[in-house]
Amino acid sequence: MRRMGQFVDQTRFEQRDYTRFKRRLGVETDLLRDLVESNSLSRHAPMAGLELEAWLIDGAGRPAPFNETFLRRIGNDDMVTEIGRFNVEMNVGPRPLQGDGLAQLGADLQAHWSQCRKVAAEMGLQVVSIGILPTLADADLTLANMSDRARYRALNQQVRHMRHGRPNCLDIDGPQGEHLHSEHDDVMLEAAATSLQVHLQLPADQTVRAYNAAIIASALTVALAGNSPLLFGKRLWQETRVPLFEQSLNIGTREDGTHAPLGRASFGSAYAGYSLLECFRENLERFDPLLPVRLHAARKRLPHLRLHNGTIWRWNRPIVGFDKDGSVHLRTEHRPMGAGPSVADMMANLGFAIGLMAWLSRMDEPPEQRLPFAVAHSNFYAAARDGLDANLQWIDGRVLTAEALLLELLACSRDGLLGLGVDTTLADGWMALLEARLVQRLTGARWQLARLDALGGDLAAMTLDYVRHQASGAPLHLWR
């Protein structure tokens, strides 16, 4: 899951760069169309991988901007920088879904996590997986804390250019009446949000149904995994990362008068119809190149298409990748879930997401024909705001709380996992963990807020308590 952005080595661009990039983007979009229409995409057995973003913190629970030193010491190519010097990302390569493949994926994640904890401790630091670090201050999000990579400098330069030098305004209203307003001249607000991203690869003939299922499932997974209720000391959404990320990259489509506005970070514009190619065609037609660098990879590797797609952040994003034999595949990157609170919880969340997508995508009547995209859209933002208390409209027309619907859908997710060939014991263990959590009406976000109240509003004490519990390895419902 290596990022195309790693090959960005320019920070300033001229008009000819945009013209050249756009021309090559058009050619590569046509190449992908040819692969789709000739049924030449991968038919590989189902696989899943993940990305997890995390924070480095000091002994006081404050962000520690030392990711360069940390990554040099860890010496693992699966660990890379994020935009903030206090963030890192670990990539866990794909495993087959059948049998114990997802157990192996979880073991890989645990091994990465243990290595991170060990190296951080050697530096006098700790690593923590949490959507938004509660102790993060607005003043921490400066260019001095941006990771020293050309792609981040280029991103910052280009976003400022597309905003015509206007500051980026963050405005979030919390359900309990708190309001946050902040202005930044750069893109560092993006550094405040970390997530668990699931990559699901299915055979080519299943990708459209799976992508649409991921869109429908997003409200459930963001409610289940909410872990970002605080930003700069304010109590906001259960998953504040959602409005934060969208507003931190608040540049939209070009103004051509033919479409409704669509941000580069958004829920998207529609379900897929006949192919995920539609998303890449939309990328070409509605979004100007953000990083129009000169790429020298072979055309068949679709380098410009992949880089451009990486600068458009749908909460469910189609990804072009390559099998070991060179075959092109399309997979779904599911991005709604916040990072944390424990490895066990994250793997259970991942299992629920994959199982629910599989169950929805195998229904006799496609659920996207029963639930309008506009309803899936409103469900998602309601769930991000209100978490388990959100009222959601389901595919059968009923309106239930996210909590009630999640409890009902655990069995459906289990059936979806078993239909993919996932080990029964593994699926049952995940559903039991999630049921225990839901019966206690727990999410990471709810735990944070309740613990903060118990500690008299002490953000640092709550953060360090969270880190202590996370380090124990116990799942959230056993935290005391």
pLDDT at residue 262 in the model: 86
The radius of gyration computed from the CA coordinates of the chain, to the nearest angstrom, equals: 21
In a domain, 476, yes or no: no
Is 200 a domain residue?
yes
Q: Is 480 within the bounds of a domain? A: no
Within-domain flag for 478: no
pLDDT at residue 10, rounded to an integer: 72
Q: Which residue numbers in the chain have pLDDT < 70?
A: 1-7, 9, 11, 252-260
Give the span between the Cα atoms of 143 and 190, in whole angstroms: 12
Which CATH number characterizes residue 338's domain?
A: 3.30.590.20
Please state, in angstroms and rounded to a whole number, the distance separating the CA atoms of residues 374 and 101. 35
Q: Identity (one letter) of the amino acid at 450?
A: A
What pTM did the predictor assign?
Answer: 0.96
Cα dihedral 314→320→323→327 (10° resolution): 150
CA terminus-to-terminus distance, the chain: 36
Token output for 343:
């490895």
What is the predicted pLDDT for the residue at 252?
A: 60
Token pair in block for residue 288: 């100007």
pLDDT of residue 187: 92
250-296 pLDDT tens trace: 776 654 455 567 899 999 999 999 999 999 999 999 999 999 998 99
- CB count in 10 Å sphere of residue 310: 17
Distance CA(420)–CA(438), nearest Å, equals: 25
Work out how many domains the chain is built from and give that number: 1
Domain annotation covers residue 221: yes
- Per-residue pLDDT, 255: 47
Any domain includes 479: no
pLDDT confidence of residue 468: 98
In a domain? residue 477: no
Instruction: Supply the pLDDT for residue 256.
Output: 47
Residue 4 pLDDT:
45
CB 112 within 8 A of CB 79: yes
Residue 360 belongs to some domain of the structure? yes
Structure-token pair, residue 245: 């990320």
* Cα gap 11→157, rounded to integer Å: 7
Binning the chain into helix, strand and coil, the percentages to the nearest 5 are 50, 20, 35
Range of the domain at 108: 4-471
